[in-house]
Amino acid sequence: MKNKTTLLIIAAIIAVLGLSAIQGYLISNAYQLEKDVFIDETNDAMSKIHVREEIELLFDSMSEELEYFISDYKNQRISKGEILVRLAKVADSLNGLHQVHYKDEINNIGLDYAVKYKENITSITVFEAKEIDTILPYQGIKKTFLFGENFNEDNSVVIGNSRLFEENDYILQTKDSVVTRTFDYEVRSQRLILIEDYKSIVFGRMALLLTASALIFLIVVGLFYYSIKNLITQKKTSEIKTDFINNITHELKTPLATLSIATKSLKNDAIKNNASAFENTLNIVTRQSDRLQKLVDQVMTNSLSSESISMHKEHVIDNVYFKELLEDFKLSTQRNDLTIDNQVYGSEVMLRIDKFHFNTALLNILENAVKYGKEKTHIVLKTELRNGTYHISIMDNGIGISEKNKQHLFDKFYRVSDGNVHDVKGLGLGLYYTHQIIKAHNGTIIVESELNKGTTFNIKIPVN
């Protein structure tokens, strides 16, 4: 049964983890789709930007300067690298005007979030006759910044590419002659945008989906936890009830067996004719019948909850009450190796308690101290009055209680001894009953214990 429960829990955990992974995957896909839609919307909005005449003039100026640079390069007055350096300087000088005109256009399309724009030249190629000469890329330089804001491109999005193809004449000067030649050049450029807070915008659009997903996930996990907890609780309850049935069966066997033998003996002529033997056997029947009745009463009475117990409170003086209680307990145990230290509060305190039930509750604790005690059992009963609350501590030097057992100590039918072990007899109702009695007196009871070092029960009840 234990193995089946463990396997069931493992299977349930795997199922929840699998469900979480699937939900995470679907949310990731939904995020990517929402991001793509958002980028497309931005791209559509950016495509509506009207290219002003001023901006076109800036590009024309760039083209003219580039033609001059290529002509100088063809005449071997500058290198490819110098072309790129000069081009960058011209772009920098023109970028201020480009920014002014372009930001005006971005404001005109009415975007409610900030968008950075950037244009790079990605390729410059010169064609002359059958020769192809690549200016850019050059020596590891893959592109050069042209216009816009020169931002980091890690999270940017490409929104368009452009291609410019022009024909140009240049004068080639040699030692002996001056010749006019023609070359074609191609310039490829790339437009990029960066929306720095795009993640928050996308997540904002997905807020309802994310909230619903989180809520559903929490509900599933909650139901899973509740189901597993109930399963474990029911399993423990089933085990405890099984133990209780085994224990009470064992407890009932002895008096029933004795009653069976005694009743058969009463039918014996030798017993019938012997008045003394007959009376002795009859007394055995009576005692065993009383024992059975007490077992039944214990099950019926001790299984009541604090709300069901009928209380008949009376006033008692604390030091007189505890002195009588301890004297009666020590007399009933008949153990010479038992010592009880009475440390009742010095001044008299008037307590209002149900004497019968309270006696039974405290006796259950004292009897457990003897049952689970060592060869020389030592019990200390200490009381004190603090802030209108009466404190009762019952300490022993017994075998102690483990942390695992402590949390179930006041549960109905729970016994520290496992299974059908009867080194210490009982039905697992004594401390449950004690707990209910203390609650019925509007008090509290807690236990402190350490294995092989003894146990302390701390009880608090209001004085008034």
Average pLDDT of the residues in 100-119: 81
Range of the domain at 155: 56-201
Give the global pTM: 0.47
**Which of 153, 174, 201 represents a domain boundary (last residue)?**
201
Report pLDDT for 426.
55
On whether residue 81 sits in a domain, the answer given is: yes
Average pLDDT of the residues in 149-154: 85
Chain segment 131-147, per-residue pLDDT in tens: 899 999 988 888 898 88
On whether residue 141 sits in a domain, the answer given is: yes
Q: How confident is the model at residue 458 (pLDDT cuts 50, 70, 90)?
A: very high
Chain segment 158-190, per-residue pLDDT in tens: 888 889 888 888 787 766 777 788 889 999 999
| Angle, CA of 243, 364 and 347, to the nearest 5° | 160
Share of the chain above pLDDT 90, in %: 14
Q: How many domains does the chain have?
A: 2
Q: Mark residue 241 as left, alpha or beta (left: phi above 0; alpha: psi -120 to 50; beta: remaining).
A: alpha
CA distance 88 to 126: 18
Task: Check whether 337 has a pLDDT greater than 90.
Answer: no
**Which of 157, 183, 201 represents a domain boundary (last residue)?**
201
Task: Check whether 117 has a pLDDT greater than 90.
Answer: no
Q: How confident is the model at residue 6 (pLDDT cuts 50, 70, 90)?
A: confident
Cβ neighbours, 10 Å, residue 379: 23
Report pLDDT for 351.
92
On whether residue 229 sits in a domain, the answer given is: no
Chain segment 252-282, per-residue pLDDT in tens: 676 677 778 878 887 888 877 888 888 888 8
On whether residue 148 sits in a domain, the answer given is: yes
Q: Which residues are paired to 118 by β-bridges?
A: 148, 192
Chain segment 433-454, per-residue pLDDT in tens: 888 889 989 999 999 988 888 8
Chain segment 373-428, per-residue pLDDT in tens: 777 889 999 999 988 899 999 999 888 888 877 777 877 766 665 433 344 455 56
Cβ neighbours, 10 Å, residue 447: 18
List Cα–Cα distances, 108 to 4, 97, 304, 458, in angstroms. Answer: 69, 17, 80, 78
If you average pLDDT over each of 128-132, 237-241, 245-249, 351-355, which comes out highest? Answer: 351-355
First-to-last CA distance in the chain?
Answer: 51
CA distance 318 to 323: 8
Q: Are 182 and 167 in contact (CB under 8 A)?
A: yes
Mean pLDDT rounded to a whole number for the chain: 82
Q: How confident is the model at residue 352 (pLDDT cuts 50, 70, 90)?
A: very high
**Which of 136, 166, 201 represents a domain boundary (last residue)?**
201
Q: How confident is the model at residue 287 (pLDDT cuts 50, 70, 90)?
A: confident
On whether residue 36 sits in a domain, the answer given is: no
On whether residue 235 sits in a domain, the answer given is: no
Q: Which residues are paired to 170 by β-bridges?
A: 181
Chain segment 36-90, per-residue pLDDT in tens: 888 888 888 777 765 667 777 888 888 888 888 888 888 888 998 998 999 999 9
CATH of the domain at 354: 3.30.565.10
List Cα–Cα distances, 375 to 247, 369, 399, in angstroms. Answer: 25, 12, 11
CA distance 304 to 293: 17
Q: How confident is the model at residue 457 (pLDDT cuts 50, 70, 90)?
A: very high
> Percentages helix, strand, coil for the chain, rounded to the nearest 5?
55, 25, 25
CA distance 446 to 406: 10
Q: Mark residue 455 as left, alpha or beta (left: phi above 0; alpha: psi -120 to 50; beta: remaining).
A: beta
Average pLDDT of the residues in 320-326: 89
Q: How confident is the model at residue 243 (pLDDT cuts 50, 70, 90)?
A: low
Q: Which residues are paired to 457 by β-bridges?
A: 394, 447
Average pLDDT of the residues in 219-235: 84
CA quadruple 403, 406, 411, 414: dihedral positive or negative?
Answer: positive
Report pLDDT for 374.
76
On whether residue 286 sits in a domain, the answer given is: no
Place of tokens 């291609």: 163
* One-letter amino acid for residue 113 of the chain: Y
Report pLDDT for 40.
84
Task: Check whether 23 has a pLDDT greater than 50.
Answer: yes
Q: Which residues are paired to 455 by β-bridges?
A: 396, 449
Report pLDDT for 421.
38
CA distance 102 to 191: 13
On whether residue 195 sits in a domain, the answer given is: yes
Report pLDDT for 332.
72
Q: 358 versus 233: which is more confidently predicted?
A: 358
Task: Check whether 240 has a pLDDT greater than 90.
Answer: no
